Chain A
Amino acid sequence: MQAALSCLLAFKRIGIIRFARDLGLVDVDAQARRMLDLPAAGVGAESLPDLFPELIGNEASVRNVLAGKRTALHLEYVNRRDRQGELRFLDLLVLAGERKNEGLLAVEDVSGKGRMLQELTQQRHELLLYRNAVHFREHLISEAILGRSPAIEKVRRMIRKISRVPSATVLLSGESGTGKNLAARVIHHSSMPAEAPFVEINCAALPDNLMEAELFGYEKGAFTNALSARAGLLQEAGNGTVLLDEIGELTVPLQAKLLSVLEERKVRRLGSNREVEIRARIIAATNRDLEREVSAGRFRQDLFYRLHVVAVRMPALREMDQDVLQIAEHLLKVFAIEFKKKSVRGFTPAAQKRLLNHSWPGNVRELRNCIERAMIFTESQRIDADELTLLASRRNPARSLEIPPEGLDLEAVERQLIEAALQRSGRNKSRAAQLLGLSRDTLRYRLKKYGMG
């Protein structure tokens, strides 16, 4: 029987390690030595856990096996890298030995089986991940860009469309604080493969020559400090996205270069005449009115037209009606988690009214700061109006209205304002009246007067 057993073990390529009660090694047979890449004599290890750290934590179970309190201890698919760095899978089985106070550890190389299992599991996981990725992208857009107002619905619709065309250049405009950077990231994450890079650069941050080097890259020696060659951001972004923030600050000569990049999809590093292909999507963002910049001669018209093909305007918070409340509630939850203040559940009606009436010149960023501050200091379950610190409100816009030297037509201005309010409110008359500081009836009267009803 003993001989037959040895034969079976050898045939099945099962290695045997004998160890003592204190887990000190007694003997490691040739088969086990081969599997564990150990020298023919000596093992350089004193105890079983030195050889198999996988047994650490399980010492008591091993002793129980030796004491006959437990039949065996089994560890499956223990990962090992062999000398070539190849992954191998070992199966470990701890048993009581023939001699008293001695244990056996049977090691079997199950790499073949392990690889097969690996492949099958991998396929299953990849399929599930793929399904999830599609789902995630869809969700991301609605999770990141909150609100139900027509203005923000339009943004979401556009981003959904843009995310299906990963090569299209995009222009994001909107006042500062409206979330242009977030929108750019959402466009990136919803249209690119997960590993695609997102790089951003602020066009106002660097002087012209550095900006150029940063964007297009340079060869060694192209200028005094170019000690080694470097790829530009446009190239580094690979198949991902480059966000050019504050594009309105780019100088006219760089605007010309950028235009040619957008048209040719190629760049030349400074000091090189070899062209490199650009595959990344370019998103430009600005809080300036580029059309006005064009008229003033500060922005190239051809670049403006090129960028304007796919343009998304991020609405100001004051154009988003009741969305202020939804976003405020969301931010409240976020900060409740961050500041461990989950007892704070919402806003009092007075606070809600205050949020709705403020004009939010700093947009979502201002709202975020406002809620953050309130959440830090509040001790109640509902944030009240006086806990909201608001920037000086521009509720009274008189100072931004000036009478031009040639005079104006007050009725025409009034008509324009009414029309603007109707547009902003999605032609909801009550809301338009609210925006104009009029009662519904007064608004109705004026609409009739101007034949706008």
Chain B
Amino acid sequence: MDGGICVEKKKICLLGAFAVGKTSLIQRFVNDRFGDKYLTTIGVDISQKLLAPFDSGNGRMCQYHLLIWDIAGMDRFDKVVESYYRGAAGALAVADLTRENTASGLTRICRNFRTVCPTAGILFIGNKADLHPLKGPVSAVLEQVAESFGGQCRVTSAKTGAGVAEAFQLLAETLEKG
């Protein structure tokens, strides 16, 4: 279609402690793949994905080209990490449902992130739902952290794929337009 779709690049970051499944969520979302083997991420790894077009109002179709930042080393916060965060329109803050401290640890990480990107939306994710037999909602701790940042909470499994595309989509919907 001619003159139809505008494509907007949007940077989003994946935040969270080691091994919560940041890389796995991206792999599932971008390539629909999952690997059981753990290979910790060093530095920064960018993946890209074009989302389905949506009506941006006044009949104009828009499409997000997501630049998804998989970032390692959340235990430090310095100039380098700051430049990884800068310019992000949103973030997925990921906790591992089998490790409660990964949920409470998000407070510090998200606070740092917000100092660099004060208006970016954050969606909180409880990952590895497949490992948790209690099929209830996310852990109370994660819910509390989310609330303190005014963010929503979702449960995913990068392994089964449950909730993954929905989470990225939901985050995309909360990104600031323009």
Contacts and interface: CB of A to CB of B under 8 A. Distances in A.
A237 to B, nearest CB: 15
A77 B42 contact: yes
A126 interface: yes
B151 interface: no
B120 to A, nearest CB: 11
B130 to A, nearest CB: 9
Interface string B134-148: 101110100100000
A39 interface: no
A89 B45 CA distance: 10
Given A53-B67, A186-B133, A337-B137, A61 B43 contact: no
Given A122-B39, A334-B137, A54 B131 contact: no
B168 to A, nearest CB: 18
A140 B87 contact: no
Interface in B146-174: none
A7 to B, nearest CB: 28
A320 B39 CA distance: 46
A226 B21 CA distance: 38
Contacts of A188: 133
A74 B78 CA distance: 11
B140 A333 contact: yes
B108 to A, nearest CB: 17
B58 interface: no
B43 A114 contact: yes
A452 to B, nearest CB: 42
B88 interface: yes
B84 to A, nearest CB: 8
Contacts of B140: 333, 337
A182 interface: yes
Contacts of A57: 11, 86-88
B43 A89 contact: yes
Contacts of B39: 118, 122
Interface in A85-102: 89
Contacts of B1: none
Given A57-B86, A74-B83, A189-B131, A337 B43 contact: no
A182 B137 CA distance: 15
A438 interface: no
Given A89-B43, A126-B38, A334 B136 contact: yes
Interface of A: 53-54, 56-59, 61, 73-79, 89, 114, 117-118, 121-122, 125-126, 128-129, 132-133, 136, 140, 143-144, 182, 185-186, 188-189, 194-195, 333-334, 337-338
